[in-house]
Structure 1
């Protein structure tokens, strides 16, 4: 014979189970966040090539098995780390440059925007470029798509779309160019931008 659970007992059991499930999900969410934070920190200090799952687990205060429970492989962890880092950055805004009709002013504004982004993200970007051979292809593709959008936007309204002009603007927007001018040579952003704008304008004649 089936014995039903008293109503009073059922009314207390259901909320308790719901609370336990919610708490477990909350704990899992916090654990996942610690893992992503640890990976982001290590990528920005050691670089992707020197970041191991064991190091991520140690910094996050979890086991390797826990890391793999949340992320099936290192690529999925890298993607989560990349998305989080980008969400915390003030990214260049090509839509704003697109409203500028004058090509020289547009290039000047765009390069300043890009160079400020490079300055703010210098440590992480330096490691990412150095360790490009271990960066997942999907992350590299997303970066290249952003850079192509910058380039295409800066080339609008230019009197010439010759290959040399595109190459000059591409060179001006490159992280390595900013590293050389503002890092190694110590130029202020304004001076570096004026130098690059002058180069592009000379080639555009």
Structure 2
């Protein structure tokens, strides 16, 4: 089979479990399709490695990312999961993404998740984290990240992460079935009925699961 790329973009605010969803998706696809290569690109890690963070899309070299995406090639089907706060930020990557998802949650929950994630269990650590959130992360969310929700095909509330994951997985399975004509055998049971077995036909029905 010639190489086929399937790009999926998973975005959302800070500490909303985007990477966890991506890893679950990677694991599940690997179980269903052993000869399909699944690559995760974590944009938050790329931004974190930037020594002089601007807390904006400038923290990620989208030119390099786009070039790398074009040059990822394996035999069979390549599924590339782009995850992170800025996964829906760049127009070129949005244009080549088969499915664009925004995992939504309110600011209070994101702050609580950050406190738990960073283990801010002393007054000094907690004070520093809250200052970081108020001075940098919250403005970044409002100005740069939250507006990208307009590019999403699916908006999944944080509380419905498992349901959202099942929708994404089902859509990906159907696209792979369509690409190879159903030749790959798997035990996945469809969760949703996508007309004509295309992920982009009925996805607007699930635009906002809240």
Q: Give the TM bin, normalised by the shorter chain.
A: under 0.3
Asked which structure has the greater CA Rg, the reply is 1
- Give the structure-1-normalised TM-score: 0.26
- Give the structure-2-normalised TM-score: 0.26
